[in-house]
Amino acid sequence: MHRRFLLLAAVALAAGLPRTADSATALDFAFATIEGAPLDLAAFRGKAVLVVNTASFCGYTPQYAGLQKLWERYRERGLVVLGVPSNDFGQQEPGSAVEIKRFCEVNYSIDFPLTEKVAVTGAAAHPFYRWAAAELGAAAAPRWNFHKYLVGPDGRLVAWFPTRVAPDDPPLVQAIEAAVPR
């Protein structure tokens, strides 16, 4: 029985699932980087994290420029911008990891972390997104590309912002200002 539990725990961790059944923070989740390396959100403990589902061929794709500016402005103060490519909305992120990364670097000089492409809605959604929607309610779930979740330094969800809220919109900037470590 003990071996079976350990095997199930290892599979859950590898799949990005929380380490415990009563996971209470974003720090209990993991993604893979766009290059395929493990990306444990616990590595960002003590930092604010702006998690944004992204797409390369969306009317909101120019928000990449604003996200890069946020990253440049606040990273020294403890903000991590985390781009999460997703093809969930209008198939606007059809490319491979290599194509997505190249698009971001060439067109927007992105150097903030990007994850592998994942689902952010429905039953197949990445566990972080299922957890965030459960924590904040269905109204806070992504309805399109460039939906934003702000995670505080303690891993708790601080706020969410729909697609139409640009990275330089005052409510988002104020929330980041309040969330970054002093």
Segment among 16-20, 59-63, 136-140 with least mean pLDDT: 16-20
| Gap between the Cα atoms of 64 and 75, Å rounded | 16
On whether the CB atoms of residues 48 and 87 are closer than 8 A, the answer is no
Q: Catalytic residue numbers?
A: 58
Quote the pTM value.
Answer: 0.88
Q: Which residues are CB-contacts of 137 (< 8 A; sequence separation ≥ 6)?
A: none
- Sort 155 into a burial class: Cβ within 10 Å, 0-12 / 13-18 / 19+: buried
99-109 average pLDDT score: 98
Q: What is the pLDDT of residues 70-92, one digit of tens each?
A: 999 999 999 999 999 999 999 99
Give phi and psi for 14, each to the nearest 5: -65, -30
User: Phi, psi (5° rounding) for residue 131?
Assistant: -65, -45
Q: Is pLDDT of 13 > 80?
A: no
- 23 band by pLDDT with thresholds 50, 70 and 90: low
2-179: CATH topology is Glutaredoxin (3.40.30)
pLDDT tens-digit map of 149-171? 999 999 999 999 999 999 999 99
Domain edges within the chain: 2-179
